[in-house]
Amino acid sequence: MSRFKHILLDLDETIFDFKEGERLAFADVCKSLNIANSDEIYFIYKEENLKCWKALERKEITKPQLLQLRWTNTFSLAQINMPCEPIILNDAYMRALGNYGIYLPHAEEFMRSLKALSSIKIHLITNGTSYTAHNRITVSGISQYIDNAFISDDMGVNKPDKLFFDKVLSSIDAKPDECLVIGDSLTSDIKGANNAEIPCCLYSREGDFPSGFENYKIDYLAKNYDEILKYISQD
């Protein structure tokens, strides 16, 4: 019997291969808009997109600003003209991204193992736009393994804001110490868990933990899914 009743599970780079889905969606959009050098532009986009998401986590920009800035910044740095308005480009990209709910290696087996633990409930917690997140959940088939999906757009607040986690706890009628947050991001998942005083597990698909992880309160470190299962199964 696990000490935890609820697993609050991050999606991207914890269960889904967001990097690959992002790359494929970007290539699809560039092809549809006849944009050349998509690989070079994608490298710039990845950097600018990450900067914007970090700024959003720090509440320096809003979500609508993020969805435009990541494109205007990318094409400005690439020194090419945008093929359409940023919001139109973003909509096309988000539709394309919704087609790619790609599991990381062994992630679906992990989900099956979690589902087999009848004493726990599994809840996805993800920052993202509603349409894209719901589509990726649908195409992946992950719904069969989970009890709930909490998406920041639907909730009106993003990780790591304490309010995000407070809303999750209220919805599932749980106390913080009954839950375990599992995720790969220090500034989103782990900081959010710390803000809400929820036990947490930092997962690294590469096996290397990010610089500065010692500055957070982290209950468990995991380099593979078997380690996570071991932690969850402990009394």
Q: Encode pLDDT of 123-160 as tens digits.
A: 999 998 899 999 999 999 999 999 999 999 999 999 99
Query: Dihedrals φ, ψ of 34, to 5°?
Result: 55, 45
Q: Are 219 and 198 in contact (CB under 8 A)?
A: no
Alpha-carbon distance 133 to 152, whole Å?
10
Residues contacting residue 195 through CB under 8 Å, at least 6 positions apart? 160, 161, 162, 165
pLDDT of residue 110: 98
Alpha-carbon distance 123 to 126, whole Å?
10
How would residue 227 be classed by pLDDT, with cut points 50, 70 and 90? very high
Range 170-197 burial, b when 16+ CB lie within 10 A, else e: eebebeeebbbbbbbbbbbbbbbbbbbe
Give the total residue count for the chain: 235
How would residue 2 be classed by pLDDT, with cut points 50, 70 and 90? confident
The beta strands (E) that lie in 50-100 are given as: none
Model confidence pLDDT, tens digit, residues 75-127: 999 999 988 999 999 999 999 999 999 999 999 999 999 999 989 999 999 99
Model confidence pLDDT, tens digit, residues 9-65: 999 999 999 999 999 999 999 999 888 878 889 999 999 999 999 999 999 999 899
pLDDT of residue 235: 62
Paired sense of beta strands 179-183 and 148-151, if any: unpaired
pLDDT of residue 234: 81
pLDDT of residue 128: 86
Asked whether the predicted pLDDT for residue 1 surpasses 80, the reply is no
pLDDT of residue 36: 82
Alpha-carbon distance 72 to 45, whole Å?
10
Burial class (CB in 10 A: 0-12, 13-18, 19+), 29: buried
